[in-house]
Structure formats: structure tokens, C-alpha cells
Amino acid sequence: MIFTLLSIELYKIFKKWRTYIGFLAFGVFIPILIYGVSQGGNHYQRILERNLGDQFLIVGNLLNGWYVAFITIQAMIIHIPFFISLVAGDLFAGEGTAGTYRMFLTRPISRELVVITKYLAGFIYTLVFLIFFALLSTLPSIYFLGTGDLIVPLEKIVVIPSSEIIWRFLIAYFSSFISMCVVVSLAALFSSLVNNSIGPIVGTMAVIVIFLIIGELPFELFEKISPYLFTKYMTVWLEAFDYPIDWSEIIKSLSILLAHILLFFSITLLSFRKKDILT
């Protein structure tokens, strides 16, 4: 029955227009970005070379396909969570809004199974979306802009040799997937509590944005709170572009994120199994 339910959930997700908003947005944005870099990249490269030229001997193309892929993966912080919460926030609440709980839950299926399959469907949607995103942000940009070493201009400048780039991106995308599953779980939890998907979407984004802001504020109080905010660990994918990679930090962050997924799932399960369907 679990596969039947899961296939039905996936069918419902991929039959809704809102599911494709994220695909559409990145499908439009990334080609524009690639085109923009290819057209005006020389000026930006000169700025980079001027700033880095004192410390590095720069040879080759800095604004290559990998660099564009690195720019686009920053969308994992805000943009992708938004598109994911659009779908995940509707998982339960959408049934409430449409009144289909009355059709769905009068069947001989346990509510636990309903929660499990809705979560799994949310995770699968996220996986599909991230694979699309990863392919779109790497393949065309590599094709049009070429390859080379990757310059990571964050807190410190890291130069990743081309031989290491692919597996580092794989680690980054895998970590992003776990991070985005936390977003799915939080949005699904909110979704299970109400009967309108706007609340869960706004609520999820509000939590993420507020937690991100609190986590970045350079004050003692917020610095003490920061380790308890799951958003601190959602940028774990950045570790994949550090040198050397801090594996213990990645494992710790992923463990904390998985614990949050489990926590949000458990709360959803407990509340939904007792929920009175009044819509």
C-alpha cells in the first residue's frame, strides 16, 4: 500500500502547476545568468584579477562554468527553500483546502502511512528539483563557458583544482538535499496543522529568514543562540568548497539536520493521527 500511496502523492504533486514554478524560475534565470556572464564577464574577471592579483598568479578563465554553478548554488539559502516550501506547504493543507481529506481519509489507510508517504513524496520532489537545478546550473554553463579551476571567494579565497571540482559539487548537492529536506519537513509540519497552504509557506520562510538573521548578528546573545538554530547547519554545503574539507563539521551538521527532520516528522505524525478532520 505504501507504494500505491506514494505514487498517488507524486502524481498529485506533479499534476499541480505550482510544482513547476521553481523549475520555471531557474529554467529562465540560469540561462540568463550564463548569457550575462558570457557577455559581460571580462569586466568582472578583470576586477577579480585586480583584487586577487597581489596574492595569486592567475592563469586561465576565472569565470568558467564551475564558477557560474557555484554562484547559482547560493540559491540554496533562500530561493530554493521558498520554491520547495511552495510544494511542501501544500502537502497536507492542500487536502484541507480542497476538502479531499474527506475522500482520502475515509479509506482504509492509516494516518501514519499518509504522513509517511506525504513526507517521502516531498523528499522525492526535492530530489528531482535539485537534480534539475544541478544539471541546469552545471552542464549549460560548462558548455558555454568552459571549465577550469574554481575560485571560491568567501571568507577566504579558496582555489579548487579542476580535478576535485566534480566530487566537491556532488558533496555540496547531497548536503543541500539534506538541508532542503529539513525545509520540506518544517513546511509539512506546518501544513499538517492548518487547512490553508499560504500559512505554512509564509511560516516556513519566516522561520528560515529570522533564524538566518539571528544566526548572523554579531552580538553575544545571538551568538549563544546560533548553535541551536537549524539554519546554521543548512549551509553545510559550503564546507564542500573549503580547503581542506572539515569532514567532522559536515558529519555533525548533517546529523543535526537529520535529527531535525526526524523531530518535525515525529511532531507531524503525533498531531496528525489525532487530528479531527473538520473541513
Partner 1 sequence: MEIVLETKNLTKKFKNIIAVDNLNLVVYKGDVFGFLGPNGAGKSTTIRMLTSLIYPDSGEVYLFNEQLKPNSKSVLRRVGAIVESPDFYLYLTAYKNLEILGRLYGITPAKNQIMEILEFVGLSNRWNSKVKTFSHGMKQRLGIAQALLHNPDLIILDEPTTGLDPQGMKEIRQLVLSLSKEKGKTIFISSHLLYEVELIANRMIIINKGKKIVEGYVKELLDRERTTYNFNLSNLEKAKDILISLNLEMNKDFRINGSDLEISTQKISASQLNKIFVQNEIEVYAFYPKRSLEEFFLEITQGQK
Q: Where does this chain bind partner 1 (CB under 8 A)? A: 1, 4-5, 8, 11-12, 15-17, 98-111, 273-274, 276-278
Least gap, CB of 93 to partner 1 (angstroms): 14
In the bound state with partner 1, the residue whose beta carbon lies nearer, of 108 and 244, is: 108
Burial (0-12, 13-18, 19+ Cβ within 10 Å), 247: exposed
Least gap, CB of 8 to partner 1 (angstroms): 5
Least gap, CB of 105 to partner 1 (angstroms): 6
Least gap, CB of 11 to partner 1 (angstroms): 7
Determine contact, residues 19/125, Cβ cutoff 8 Å: yes
Long-range contacts of 45-51 (CB under 8 A, 24+ apart): 48/151, 48/153
In the bound state with partner 1, the residue whose beta carbon lies nearer, of 86 and 134, is: 86
Least gap, CB of 187 to partner 1 (angstroms): 20
Least gap, CB of 2 to partner 1 (angstroms): 12
Q: What is the DSSP string of the chain?
A: -HHHHHHHHHHHHHTSGGGGHHHHHHHHHHHHHHHHHHHHHHHHHHHHHHHHTTT----S-SSSHHHHHHHHHGGGTTHHHHHHHHHHTTTTHHHHHHTTHHHHTTSS--HHHHHHHHHHHHHHHHHHHHHHHHHHHHHHHHHHH----EEEESSSEEEE-HHHHHHHHHHHHHHHHHHHHHHHHHHHHHHHH-S-THHHHHHHHHHHHHHHHHHH--SHHHHHHGGG-THHHHTGGGGGGSSS--HHHHHHHHHHHHHHHHHHHHHHHHHHHH-----
In the bound state with partner 1, the residue whose beta carbon lies nearer, of 79 and 111, is: 111
In the bound state with partner 1, the residue whose beta carbon lies nearer, of 51 and 266, is: 266
Least gap, CB of 68 to partner 1 (angstroms): 35
Q: Record the cell numbers describing residue 190, joined without a space.
A: 506546518
In the bound state with partner 1, the residue whose beta carbon lies nearer, of 45 and 279, is: 279
Phi, psi at residue 151, to the nearest 5°? -95, 125
In the bound state with partner 1, the residue whose beta carbon lies nearer, of 5 and 240, is: 5
In the bound state with partner 1, the residue whose beta carbon lies nearer, of 55 and 106, is: 106
Least gap, CB of 21 to partner 1 (angstroms): 15
In the bound state with partner 1, the residue whose beta carbon lies nearer, of 8 and 166, is: 8
